[in-house]
Structure 1
Amino acid sequence: MSNFVFVLDTNKQRLNPVHPGEARRLLNQGKAAVFRQYPFTIILKQEVKAEVRPLQLKIDPGSRTTGLAILNGSQVIWAAELTHRGQAIKDALLGRRQLRRARRNRKTRYRAPRFLNRARAEGWLAPSLMHRVKTTLTWVNRLCRYAPIAGISQELVRFDTQAIQNPEISGTEYQQGTLAGYEVREYLLEKWGRKCAYCKAKNTPLQIEHIQPRSKGGSDRVANLTLACEPCNGAKSNLPVQEFLSGKPDLLKCILAQAKAPLKDAAAVNSTRWALFKALKGTELPVTTGSGGQTKYNRTNLGLPKTHWLDAACVGKVEQLQILTTQPLLIRATGHGSRQMCGTNKYGFPTRHRSRVQIHKGFQTGDIVVATVTAGKKIGSYLGRVLCRASGSFDIATKTGRVAGISHKYCKPIHKKDGYAYAF
């Protein structure tokens, strides 16, 4: 049950995706050819007349991973999980800033720090956050080129679905609506790592627990809530956390610090959700929204496991789902390499020279190739990401490990470098 295959006609117009078995039959009979490897797309060699059914693209934005799902009515026919590289971008900018600060403080000419002469545009986002928006938009545009996407559904974390369904809802009825508790529970699960805060037990039913008991003046605010397994929750009862953990000062300090700290991932998603929403509006496709609580409510009612692509399929109003794929495409943003001409060590001193030439023997580091070696000690077939050298002796990173010393003569490219790595 792998992803359906995208199909283009002879004029490169989008047709309905087909089952992998049907795509295999068309390729074997010579009626189609491979147009693109990732996402896998075929192009027909003969003109056909077919009714094109509109598809819905659903997006579950995340701090580290974004879920993507394409639905044909209630059928999930294509799915992917897009892993961002926001932390890598942040670390690279931090290293650059530290290098420039060290250079400014050396015994060279004085370099005044520039703080007040850099204006930021309205709606500015840090590069590590803007990367999430642009990467997601890149894949939305790419999927729209290969599939007849007619609408987009995005999860907006704070979108109030209860007020939309019933504008007059208020008071206790609003607080105890259909989605009551789902937003808070999901937030706590992410914040506390889906494990008991006191014994660190995993894969066990967890209960929402007050760090400072309500009977001792504690509130219902999220900063006073944590997760505990049933034995720990019963043992703590209404004891203050300082008394319950009097013999474990390190654990007490850790819990109190984590309770006050905001959820970093949630802050990243909240910072980028409206920027992504505005970018999706620019595609001129109708965009609908749903909340994280509604997504979890749908997934729980349908009895589906917690994954990013299934969360994407459950975004918005969902009554039933038919899962026709269980092998989502795993996409990892790798970037396009470094523009540094001189490599430095951790102290900022130069250690090596970086060549301007990136293409060697027609290949570039990051290309996905098939190497069929017919002679020597490494006879066999290898599929993976190539690491190029000027000498023409390449390394190939396969699923089982890295194979060194493969001549460029045996390599055949199947997917050119595009800044992403792929797996299933």
Structure 2
Amino acid sequence: MAKGVNAVRESSTLRTDNSKVGAGAQMVAVLDKNGRPLMPCHPARARKLLARGRAVIVQSIPFAIRLKDRVAEDSDVSTVSVRIDPGSKGTGIAVTTDVEHIDPAMGEVTTSRRGLLAVELRHRGSQVHGSMQQRANYRRRRRSANLRYRAPRFSNRSRPAGWLAPSLQHRVDTTMSIVTRLMMLFPVTELHLERAAFDTHALSLGREDLNGVEYQQGALAGYEVRQYLLEKWGRTCAYCGAKNVPLQIDHIRPRARGGSDRVSNLTLACGPCNQAKDARPVEEFLAGKPARLARLLAQAQAPLGDAAAMNATRWQLWQALKSPGLPVSAWSGGRTKYNRAVQGLAKSHTLDALAVGEISTSTRIVRHPDMVLVTSACGRGSYARTRTDKHGFPRLYLPRQKQHYGFSTGDLVRADIPRGKYQGTYTGRVAVRASGTHRIPVPGGYADTHHSNLRLLQRGDGYAYTTRKEDARL
């Protein structure tokens, strides 16, 4: 039981800072004796429950315990939400709860949002894309060298509805995997999704009515358009390339000459260039700079790269999140950025996730986890039992058996090395060998140790876990 208490203590180091939003430890997931989720508890409370024998450890990452003497019907369960900020390379996920209380000074009902757990999911879409290209190269060589080992298939095979490229489908699958696991550990009642970093459809129509009239008349009017243009044009003047100067939104084709307010007709210009161009056509203004003119016209029509990737996956992720049957709300990235700015939060995937959704004037984010669980998708290994050279021919063979002495590559283990250069205790993902001498990561490299020195903490699930500190100060 002492090992379980130490495990909670190691995963809940507290820190204090002077940030506007208070930082605290990540909360520990709690299940009743039948495995149903209850409200999470503080790590100190979890240590007491484990020390008294009232609870047992369910899993190590994210840390969860199961009570032996309580059922869900005898416990008060509040509203818990999962908020998702998807990205092309990483996704922020925050488990939150909103608590209403009466402000004694104002006598009004206010809402406090508290972050219970923060997860930063790092995708491996680029690795999937590289593997698909490598497989295509191998197959192309076999065709050209007349080494075909199977009959050719028709090239007009149709793709099912909703098909995505594997590198894009990976983002949907991994996000759903983590959200599903959190729903098994926390009493989640609703999901909130930032459906797109920028709603390019609404932007192209010159309107921003995704989530209400605030985008047309309130504080969010024009906010999302400006942020989209800053990202698209790299925060530089499109006419002279000036950086770190105040930038203004300019119409490439002036409105006086029939130009529209579509985002494809908008760019960024510094003050002198905006005044010098005035209502002249861009072809006349950049007549002496043909290369810059061609680049500007091409970039104006090209969508933002990350926005294009997210637009390809947002609807599939939206539909997948609706499958568990919980209510799902979609929000714009412009609203998220606005909420984060109003609450005084720094920029990160997890803090963006904390700010996803509707935050009224009476809502205050009062707490965020001081440590973020960084979850990196690394796959579950390969089906191929060979390694190839640069020509695609096998150069070595891997064993068909993937488990050796009770361990598989990717399992989370604790290693107690009794002697030698790396004497000590380490925790990490193991790489197994048929000889029984397995490899684990240590600071500065790797160490080999006998399997008898290892203790299994959690079976490999295709993810590698680390932590990082979260600083919400601007």
Common fold by TM > 0.5: yes
Consecutive unaligned residues in structure 1, runs of 5 or more: 167-172
Mark the CA change 1:155 to 1:164 in structure 2 (over 3 Å): closer, same or farther.
closer
Mark the CA change 1:110 to 1:252 in structure 2 (over 3 Å): closer, same or farther.
farther
Q: Distance in 1 between matches of 2:378 and 2:372?
A: 19
How big is the shift at 1:244? Answer: 8.3
How big is the shift at 1:261? Answer: 3.5
DSSP 3-state at the match of 2:371: coil
Match of 2:133 among 87, 94, 111: 94
In the alignment, which residue of structure 1 is the partner of 2:318? Answer: 277
Mark the CA change 1:165 to 1:253 in structure 2 (over 3 Å): closer, same or farther.
closer
Q: Distance in 2 between matches of 1:211 and 1:115?
A: 49
Match of 2:84 among 45, 59, 62: 59
CA contact (8 A) 2:229 2:267 kept: yes
How big is the shift at 1:100? Answer: 0.3
DSSP 3-state at the match of 2:129: helix
In the alignment, which residue of structure 2 is the partner of 1:41? Answer: 64
TM-score (normalised: structure 1): 0.85
Give yes or no for the alignment of 1:292 onto 2:333: yes
AA of the residue aligned to 1:37? S
Q: Distance in 2 between matches of 1:208 and 1:241?
A: 19
Deviation readout 1:331-374 (Å, 9 max, x if unpaired) = 11111111112222233232221221211221111112111111
Deviation readout 1:33-89 (Å, 9 max, x if unpaired) = 221111110112333632122211111122111111111112222111111111211
Match of 1:165 among 181, 190, 212: 212
AA of the residue aligned to 1:334? C
Q: Distance in 1 between matches of 2:158 and 2:43?
A: 52
Consecutive unaligned residues in structure 2, runs of 5 or more: 1-23, 99-112, 203-207, 468-474
Match of 2:144 among 105, 115, 120: 105
Q: Distance in 2 between matches of 1:317 and 1:368?
A: 38
In the alignment, which residue of structure 2 is the partner of 1:207? Answer: 247
In the alignment, which residue of structure 2 is the partner of 1:378? Answer: 422
AA of the residue aligned to 1:61? P
CA contact (8 A) 1:196 1:206 kept: no
In the alignment, which residue of structure 2 is the partner of 1:265? Answer: 306
DSSP 3-state at the match of 2:441: strand
In the alignment, which residue of structure 2 is the partner of 1:170? Answer: none
DSSP 3-state at the match of 1:366: coil
How big is the shift at 1:115? Answer: 5.2
Mark the CA change 1:349 to 1:58 in structure 2 (over 3 Å): closer, same or farther.
same
Mark the CA change 1:65 to 1:186 in structure 2 (over 3 Å): closer, same or farther.
farther
CA contact (8 A) 1:162 1:177 kept: no
AA of the residue aligned to 1:323? R
In the alignment, which residue of structure 2 is the partner of 1:136? Answer: 175
How big is the shift at 1:211? Answer: 9.1
In the alignment, which residue of structure 2 is the partner of 1:404? Answer: 447
AA of the residue aligned to 2:391? Y
In the alignment, which residue of structure 2 is the partner of 1:9? Answer: 32
Q: Distance in 1 between matches of 2:369 and 2:398?
A: 44
Give yes or no for the alignment of 1:50 onto 2:91: no
TM-score (normalised: structure 2): 0.76
Q: Distance in 1 between matches of 2:404 and 2:322?
A: 41
Match of 1:183 among 204, 224, 235: 224
Match of 1:341 among 385, 394, 399: 385
How big is the shift at 1:190? Answer: 3.9
How big is the shift at 1:308? Answer: 1.1
Q: Distance in 2 between matches of 1:2 and 1:192?
A: 39
Deviation readout 1:100-121 (Å, 9 max, x if unpaired) = 0111001446988645441211
Q: Distance in 1 between matches of 2:390 and 2:440?
A: 28
- Greater Cα offset, 98-107 or 371-380: 371-380
- Greater Cα offset, 184-193 or 115-124: 184-193
Match of 1:322 among 352, 357, 366: 366
- Greater Cα offset, 210-219 or 70-79: 210-219
Aligned-residue RMSD, C-alpha: 3.3
Mark the CA change 1:39 to 1:192 in structure 2 (over 3 Å): closer, same or farther.
farther
CA contact (8 A) 1:329 1:422 kept: yes
Mark the CA change 1:327 to 1:226 in structure 2 (over 3 Å): closer, same or farther.
farther
CA contact (8 A) 2:31 2:38 kept: yes
DSSP 3-state at the match of 1:185: helix
AA of the residue aligned to 2:94? A
Q: Distance in 2 between matches of 1:388 and 1:110?
A: 33
How big is the shift at 1:149? Answer: 0.5
Q: Distance in 1 between matches of 2:124 and 2:155?
A: 29
After TM superposition, the structure 1 = structure 2 runs for residues 355-370 of structure 1, keeping only pairs within 5 Å, are 355-370=399-414
In the alignment, which residue of structure 2 is the partner of 1:351? Answer: 395
Deviation readout 1:243-279 (Å, 9 max, x if unpaired) = 8898997x88877765553222211211111111111
How big is the shift at 1:215? Answer: 9.5
Give yes or no for the alignment of 1:29 onto 2:68: no
Give yes or no for the alignment of 1:77 onto 2:100: no
CA contact (8 A) 1:342 1:351 kept: yes
Mark the CA change 1:248 to 1:26 in structure 2 (over 3 Å): closer, same or farther.
farther
- Greater Cα offset, 346-355 or 98-107: 346-355
Identity percentage of aligned residues: 44
Q: Distance in 2 between matches of 1:163 and 1:34?
A: 44
- Greater Cα offset, 365-374 or 253-262: 253-262
AA of the residue aligned to 2:411? D
May I ask how many residue pairs the two structures share in their alignment? 410
